Structure 1
Amino acid sequence: MAVLEDEDNMPSSKLPVEDRMEWVPLALTLVEYPQGDWLGKLLAMSSLMPFGIIAGFIALVLFRRDLHTIAFFIGTMVNELLNLILKHTICEARPLHRNALYTEYGMPSSHSQFMWFFAVYVIYFVFWRLHHMNNSTVLENVWKTAIIVGCVSMATMVTISRVYLQYHTWKQVLSGFLVGVIFATVWFAITHLFLTPLFPIVASWRVSEFLMLRDTTLIPNVLWFEYTNSRQESRARGRKLVSMKSQ
């Protein structure tokens, strides 16, 4: 009687092709943390913030179609391209025990560079773009401060998480911080000084009208403007509907 060969003990050369296939993790979204470490779990979750921000960017671009938001998003993508170029130029590996999992370089940290670019750009936006409110109140200063503190806190948490979870060294995350801050400054200057004056021209193009692109640069408080206009339109349509039903 033939003895069945145990598949577990079968040489790899005799296994089917699909069983010999090497599986690799998607390092882009894979985050590990020590089992039972609640702080590590919290920091691992915070490492996913850049993906949430990108999703928010896509939603804003699709539904608001504001030229400044689009310019901000383009700057974010250029920042990622810059990080990729720097990584393949410096060619510094990640911490040793991460080399088996990650084949990409770790200098500078893309998470750190992304978050600090985003945080610093928002800070510039709050100070330069939102300084001409119609009524400067204590409440407005409070929510401006809350936005700045929130962005800096998120960036700091992500930066610490990459070292705590041993995906990067301090040198790598601090380099990402430095590059992100510098490029955010450069990109905001380009947007504020060169691109913003062109937004009214771009918004007047026929293709921009077709895509419903708009320029809200001269509107001090876009949220309040959209809220009041939508409320007025809703009330007007409500009155019109009531008058039609009464006829």
Structure 2
Amino acid sequence: MAVGSKYGMPSSHSQFMWFFSVYSCLFLYLRMHQTNNARFLDLLWRHVLSLGLLTAAFLVSYSRVYLLYHTWSQVFYGGVAGSLMAIAWFIFTQEVLTPLFPRIAAWPISEFFLIRDTSLIPNVLWFEYTVTRAEARNRQRKLGTKLQ
């Protein structure tokens, strides 16, 4: 059983998967705001999704060793490197980029491309749904009065 010589240290597959999983977990728990009406379900899906992400990262890491592409140390260091980079990138985006975004979203070029700042909206999907529904009702009401 020889590990292929063309695969290096650390495992890039392991590094990417652990970056994605750790960043997503940080985003789910620290960035996404909880709604008051569905706290139990909100936390449940966060736990389930986080567990799924971490399981996927572990399975990809395991598969690299199982398929004899990497050693355990290459996979381990890839996972550590990916996790540390995810934490560093999350901190950078939270502390440096997020405070700048309202100013960036106000630039004329951002307005041209319809870029908007939704960082203060706790649940963007629910917000978009309610705003769209209200707008459709208003337009239907105006259209209904014009037809009569």
Indicate whether the TM-score tops 0.5. Answer: yes
Alignment counterpart, residue 158 of structure 1, candidates 56, 60, 85? 60
RMSD, matched Cα: 2.1
Label 1:237 to 1:96 Cα distance change in 2 as closer, same or farther (>3 A).
farther
State the identity %.
51
Where structure 2 has 5 or more consecutive residues not aligned to the other structure, the ranges are none
Query: Is the 1:109–1:175 Cα contact (8 Å) retained in structure 2?
Result: yes
**Separation in structure 2 between the aligned mates of residue 166 and residue 133 of structure 1, nearest angstrom:** 46
Give the CA deviation at 1:243.
4.2
Q: CA deviation at 1:179?
A: 0.3
Determine if contact 2:23/2:90 at 8 Å carries over to the other structure.
Answer: yes
Q: Does 2:87 correspond to 1:179?
A: no
Name the residue aligned to 1:188: 90
Aligned-partner Cα distance in 2 for 1:231–1:150: 33
Say how many residue pairs are matched: 148
Once the two structures are superposed, the pairs formed by residues 118-133 of structure 1 within 5 Å of their partners are 118-133=20-35
3-state DSSP of counterpart to 2:137: helix
Q: CA-to-partner distance for each residue in 1:25-61, whole Å, 9 max, x for gaps?
A: xxxxxxxxxxxxxxxxxxxxxxxxxxxxxxxxxxxxx
Matches within 5 A, 1:77-88: none
> Could you tell me whether the CA contact under 8 Å between 2:35 and 2:122 is conserved in 1?
yes
What is the distance in 2 between the residues matched to 1:154 and 1:97?
23
Equivalent AA in structure 1 for residue 84 of structure 2: I
Q: Which residue does the alignment assign to 1:48?
A: none
Instruction: Name the residue aligned to 1:98.
Output: 4
Q: How does 1:14-163 map to 2 (within 5 A)?
A: 96=2, 98-99=4-5, 103=6, 105-135=7-37, 137-163=39-65
Pick the structure with more helix per residue.
2
Deviation at 1:116, TM superposition (A): 0.8
Contact persistence 2:19–2:83 (CA under 8 A): yes
Q: TM-score, normalised by structure 1?
A: 0.55
**Aligned in 2, Cα 1:232/1:238: closer, same or farther, shift over 3 Å?**
same
Superposed structure 1 runs of 4+ greater than 6 Å apart: none
**Which residues of structure 1 form unaligned runs of 5+?**
1-94
Residues 15 and 81, structure 2, Cα contact 8 Å, conserved in 1? yes
2:117 aligned counterpart, secondary structure: coil
1:134/1:220 contact within 8 Å kept:
no
TM-score (norm 2): 0.87
CA distance in 2, matches of 1:108, 1:145: 29
